[in-house]
Structure 1
Amino acid sequence: MNRQPIAVALRALRHTLLGRDAPPSRRLLARWPRLDRYATPVGLLATLGLFLITLTVESEWGLSTPIALLFAAMTVAPLLALPRRPLLAWRLTVLALLICTFNAPADQAWPWTPPLALGSIAVLAVVVARVDRPVLLWVVAISTVPVLTLVDPDNRVPVLLLLGALAIVGDLLRRNRLSRHALAAQTEQSEREQERRAVLEERTRIAREMHDVVAHHMSLIAVQAETAPYRLTDVPAPAAAEFVAIAASARDALTDMRRLLGVLRSESSGPQTAPQPDLADLDAMVDAARRAGLPVTLDAGPVDDGQVPAPVGLAAYRIVQEGLANAARHAVGAAVRVTVRAGHSGLEVRVENSPADARPTADGGPGHGLTGMRERATSLGGTFTAGPLPDGGYAVAAELPYDAEGGDR
């Protein structure tokens, strides 16, 4: 004997009588906010009207005032609980149908007052549309108990047919609502998947273009710089050192680019395991710039270990790096001074160059160096300024706070 249906039925019965209520649904007038604001006061007024009508009818039945007040309260209590607790409202309704009939006049065709009868139908209509099918079957079965025991035999069949119709319609409405929610969720998931695929395809395209164009040219620069001292005769020692510096810079750029290409091509890249540069790497970067022929002076004060957060140190390194690149590109022959000062609340970074000795050569148009530096500073909650100096030079300056909130942003 298969006991699984019996266990399911018993769990549904326990849930029907004592289980948690159905989750509240969206308000009926949520689409019309102007009308929705009046829903609660209008509902309370309607409930008060039903209470007074019930009290009047029961007074005409000859009930005492305390009993009439009790029965009227039991009539309207399910309606007050219905919007948020439909299953509780149904339980109160069944209790009211069983209790509020003991003193009904014998000549009445129905054992309940009109407000109680109509309210019980409304409560049942809401409940059957909100609970799952096993609980719905128990709700309908228990709702037939007052009908079979208290309703006149001539009126039982129409009431039972009404209960069955409410159960069928409620189940269809619930299944339709669940289907619409499932379809909406599936549509949203499909849209997110399409967006993710479009982003991945665009990242792959960018990675392919960078690999085919930029990486190719950087490789050529590195190879030419390394072989130039062997292909040329009587190369001075300073020029040979510059070739070595150019080759090293090209190799470093290729390494960074390969890491970036790996991130772009990966759908979900994990945390970067390669060490990121920080303030401790400024000396090496400045030395490489000097070997490449750029006269650079570094003025960096002492920095306590752990004083500067890693995001701030990385941002400072990248700002100095971009500042040196801009000076070498746009201010040929100019002296460059890099100043890094660590204060109590933030890090001050400044890169300035003297007037250029020669006009820069065309480099393919304006870039995004200043934009990138400004974005790095503002993402940490800092400030960034850039502009010409009175003597004809140029300077960029950034203030990067240490606070964790800026780092998180």
Structure 2
Amino acid sequence: METIGPLSRRNATGPLRRLLWRRETPRPPVRRRPWVYLVPVGLLVLLGLGGAAATYIGENREAPGVLIAVIAVGSVLPVVIAFRWPVLGWRLGYVMLFIGSMNVGPKEPWPWNTVQILGFLFVLGRLALTQDTALTAWAAAFTMVPLFVYAPDANAWGAAVLVAAISVMGDILHRWRSTRRLLAEKEEVTELERAKRAVLEERARIAREMHDVVAHHMSMIAVRAETAPYRLGGLPTEARDELAGIATAAREALTDMRRLLGVLRAEEGDAPRAPQPGFAEVDDLVETARAAGVEVSLRYEDVPALPETVGLAAYRIVQEALANAARHAPTAAVTIVARGTAPAESSPRLEIEVSNPAAGPVNDGGHGLAGMRERATLLGGTLTAGPADGVFVVRAVLPVEATE
């Protein structure tokens, strides 16, 4: 209960503080055509109205020239300010209600000139259109004070009704515009959710197709490779080892496929977080390739400690490069060199070079090279691939961030 009182007072006086002395955030400038072209015209109109106010005051009041100039400028300046700073414009206009009533002539029905009255009503309406209800109510209440102090009673009550009407109408329009903006934002969020749902449905469809087609065939390959020694019998040891390697590769491919299917089926944030391979597993990758009959040599040169993202990208690049070499030149030797470099004016880098004597196609219609290049680009690195002097070379340069 002790906190309710202060919180309630803060909620009640917060709009009052914003109205009287808190710094105001400016409204965005008008940039929509054709309104932007009307700004010079509006300024010229206000300049003319200021001159008319000065002429009226000079003809009806015994006032020094400085006071006449201050009242004339103060009659139109709040209007200009109110376009970007509605609260500040009201503050200036409110002060001018007291200054503008000085030295009133005997023939003037109102203590303010017509330009000042119309300008202040515009400023009050602008404030009501842009501010919340509580602040508008405080502004309307303060506005009625000089009305009943300086204006005749008959005129003061009519002016008070007009002030209240402008405040209420402005607040109604403000609420209507706020409601439309909220509805538009809600519709935009709804459209984004629909698009997201469409993406998830398409991913689920792709996952089903991959499961029905690719995973099925990979399972059949693994099963046939595992059972071939028992079904055929009398196979030499080399053939049994080859079939065992095929079965192992197929099972590993199925594991990766299931992980991919889980990612495709999962919604955002729900994807399975299975451990991803890193650069340390490149040795296992090379051993698997050697077991499949590919002649591979691997050399490390001052490789630094790698973050997980860099290690994963490096592993996938080597994996894809080995697969391309085995596919396009199965009998050629493959050389893999991984070296760490530290240029003087940049962060340390990891350079990976995979080469084989038989040149393969730069782009065979698949997505392997494109995928490797995307992985390197996402890390801020580069990847080049192509024949050079009869040797097909894949070279990736990956920046290495400092690791703890």
| TM-score, normalised relative to structure 1 | 0.82
Change (3 A) 1:185 1:13: closer
The farther-off stretch of 85-94 and 193-202 is 85-94
Change (3 A) 1:90 1:299: same
Structure 1 unaligned spans of 5+: 357-364
For residue 376 of structure 1, what is the aligned residue in structure 2? 375
Letter in 1 for 2:100: C
Shift of 1:197: 0.5
- Map 1:300-315 onto structure 2 (within 5 A): 300-306=299-305, 308-315=306-313
For residue 229 of structure 2, what is the aligned residue in structure 1? 229
For residue 345 of structure 2, what is the aligned residue in structure 1? none
Change (3 A) 1:404 1:42: farther
Shift of 1:20: 4.1
Shift of 1:80: 4.1
Shift of 1:201: 0.9
The farther-off stretch of 115-124 and 182-191 is 115-124
> Quick one: distance in 2 between partners of 1:55 and 1:231?
111
Letter in 1 for 2:321: G
For residue 353 of structure 1, what is the aligned residue in structure 2? 356
Letter in 1 for 2:54: L
Shift of 1:366: 4.3
> Quick one: distance in 2 between partners of 1:264 and 1:51?
68
Tell whether 2:238 aligns with 1:238: yes
- Map 1:171-210 onto structure 2 (within 5 A): 171-210=171-210
- Map 1:269-348 onto structure 2 (within 5 A): 269=269, 273-294=273-294, 296-306=295-305, 308-344=306-342, 345-348=348-351
> Quick one: distance in 1 between partners of 2:119 and 2:286?
84
Letter in 2 for 1:402: P
- Contact conserved, 1:302 with 1:342, CA < 8 A, in 2? yes
Shift of 1:45: 5.0
Change (3 A) 1:91 1:370: closer
Shift of 1:184: 0.7
For residue 361 of structure 1, what is the aligned residue in structure 2? none
Tell whether 2:398 aligns with 1:397: no
Letter in 1 for 2:126: V
The farther-off stretch of 253-262 and 127-136 is 127-136
Shift of 1:346: 2.7
* 1:331-377 deviation line (CA, Å, top 9, x unaligned): 24333333333333433323333449xxxxxxxx9432222122222
Shift of 1:171: 2.3
What is the SS of the residue equivalent to 2:267? coil
Letter in 1 for 2:322: L
Tell whether 2:16 aligns with 1:18: no
- Map 1:67-146 onto structure 2 (within 5 A): 67-146=67-146
- Contact conserved, 1:22 with 1:131, CA < 8 A, in 2? no
How many residues end up aligned between the 2 structures?
388
What is the SS of the residue equivalent to 2:384? strand
Shift of 1:154: 4.9
> Quick one: distance in 1 between partners of 2:381 and 2:91?
61
Change (3 A) 1:173 1:22: farther
Shift of 1:10: 4.7
Structure 2 unaligned spans of 5+: 343-347
* 1:16-44 deviation line (CA, Å, top 9, x unaligned): 753647754454x4211x752773x6555
Q: Aligned-pair RMSD on alpha carbons? A: 3.2
Identity of aligned residues (%): 43
Change (3 A) 1:265 1:366: same
The farther-off stretch of 248-257 and 63-72 is 63-72
Shift of 1:117: 1.5
Letter in 1 for 2:395: A
> Quick one: distance in 2 between partners of 1:200 and 1:15?
49
Shift of 1:190: 0.5
- Contact conserved, 1:89 with 1:123, CA < 8 A, in 2? yes
> Quick one: distance in 2 between partners of 1:367 and 1:304?
30
- Contact conserved, 1:346 with 1:399, CA < 8 A, in 2? no
- Contact conserved, 2:350 with 2:400, CA < 8 A, in 1? no
For residue 32 of structure 2, what is the aligned residue in structure 1? 31
The farther-off stretch of 236-245 and 130-139 is 130-139
Tell whether 2:393 aligns with 1:387: no
Shift of 1:126: 1.0
Change (3 A) 1:95 1:374: closer
> Quick one: distance in 2 between partners of 1:373 and 1:162?
71
Shift of 1:244: 1.7
What is the SS of the residue equivalent to 1:301? strand
Letter in 1 for 2:200: L
> Quick one: distance in 1 between partners of 2:396 and 2:122?
66
- Contact conserved, 1:30 with 1:36, CA < 8 A, in 2? yes
Change (3 A) 1:368 1:143: same
Shift of 1:174: 1.0
